Amino acid sequence: MFINSPIRIHGRLLRVALVLAGGVSLFSAGPAAASYGWPLKPFDRQHPVRGFFGDPRIGIGGDGEPSQQFHFGIDISAPDGTPVYATLNGRISIDPRHPDVVDIVAGSTQFSYWHVIPAIRSGEAVAYRTLIGHVEAPWGHVHFSEAVGGVYINPLRPGALGPYADHTRPNIHGFSFERSGKSVGHELSGHVDLVAEALDETPLAVPAPWDGKPVAPALVRWRIVGHTSWATAADFRGALPTVPFGSIYAPWTRQNHPWRRGGSGRYRFLLATGWNTASLRDGTYRLEVELSDTRGNTSRSNTAFAIRNDAQRAPASVPAAAGDETQAATTVGDSARLRRFVARVADTVGGLLWP
C-alpha cells in the first residue's frame, strides 16, 4: 500500500504516542490486556494478519513514481464483503483522495480502515463496534492503522489490538558482507556493508494466495561478539521509523506478491553501512544478529568472518587523524612520491658535480 504523503514521525510525538497508547513497555514479552478489539467479528477472537507493521512496500506510488515505504499498519485477512466495525468511539472522515478509506478520529487518536466500502458518511459520530463498511473487492483484507498525535504506531504492540498471541520465532536466513549490493565474501578489508536476511512468520495461517509469505521481525539488532555492544538496525515495535527506507532495508529487498512462484518477499536488513573493518585488528570474528517480535519471542544466529587489512595496508610515514583513512592513504602516497623526487634530484645533482 502506498500513500503520497505519509504521516511524519518526530521524537516528541513518539513519546506522546507511547504515553497515549497506555504507557506500555515496548520490551514487554508477556500477555497484555487489549485496549480495543478487532475490527471484524468475532471481536474477541484473533484474526489472521498477512502484513505486518514495517514490512517493505515497493512499487509504484499514487503519483506514478517508484515508491519504497514502510508498511504503516497491518493487513487483516478477510473475504471480500466482510463487515468492518469501528474500534473506538469517534467521528467519521472519508479520505477525499481515497474513497475506500474510512478514518475515525477521537482527539489525537486516528484509526484508519483501508479497502473498505463505507456504510457511513463523513462527519457522522460513530460508536465502538458500529458497522462502518465492508471489505472492498478484490482486496481480501482490511489495512488497519493507528496514529496518535500524527504518529503511526504498531497496532500489534502489547496493550493495543487484541486478543493477540504470537508463539512463533523470527529466523535468520543468511548473512552477507557487501559493497554496493554485491557480496565480497567473508574475508574483509576496508569498508563494507553488513546485511542480514531475516523474516518472521504469521502466528495464524493466512488464506491463499498469501499463505506462507514472510512478515518482518519487530526488532533487529547486531553485534560483533565480544567486541561491540548491541546496535539496533530496525525497530518496528512502537512508532514507524523516521529514517529513509534504504537505511533499514538493503538492496534486493522485495515485498510479498500473491503469485506462487517467486511471490515470497525477501527482507534484507542493512545492519551497518560502510562499516570500517579497521576498527578491529586483523583476525577472525563473529557477527551475531538477534531478532524479536512484538511478544518478545527471540532468536539469535551468527556467522564467522575474517579481517585482513595488514596485507593491503602500506606503511604510513605520517599518522592520520582518527577516522580519516582516506587522508592517511593520501599522505602515504604523497610522502613516497616526495622521497622518489628528492632521490632523483640528488642523483642528477650528484652526476653534475661528481662526473
Q: For 88-105, what is each residue's pLDDT tens digit?
A: 999 999 988 899 999 999
| pTM for the structure as a whole | 0.80
| CATH superfamily, with its number, for domain 11-153 | Glucose Permease (Domain IIA) (2.70.70.10)
Strand 283-292 versus strand 219-224 pairing type: antiparallel
261 against 154, higher pLDDT: 154
Residue 80 burial (10 A CB sphere; 0-12, 13-18, 19+) = middle
Cβ–Cβ under 8 Å, residues 78 and 142: yes
Residue 139 burial (10 A CB sphere; 0-12, 13-18, 19+) = middle
Distance CA 201, CA 168 (A): 7
Domain with CATH 2.60.40 in the chain: 171-311
pLDDT for 312 equals 63
Distance CA 4, CA 8 (A): 12
Q: What's the average model confidence in pLDDT over 327-339?
A: 40
CATH of 171-311, one of 1.10.10, 3.30.70, 2.60.40, 2.40.30: 2.60.40
Cβ–Cβ under 8 Å, residues 144 and 77: no
The pair phi, psi for residue 44, each rounded to 5°, is: -100, 25
pLDDT at 344 over 70: no
Domain with CATH 2.70.70.10 in the chain: 11-153
Strand partners, 118: 133
pLDDT at 225 over 70: yes
pLDDT tens for each residue of 118-128: 999 999 999 99
pLDDT for 62 equals 72
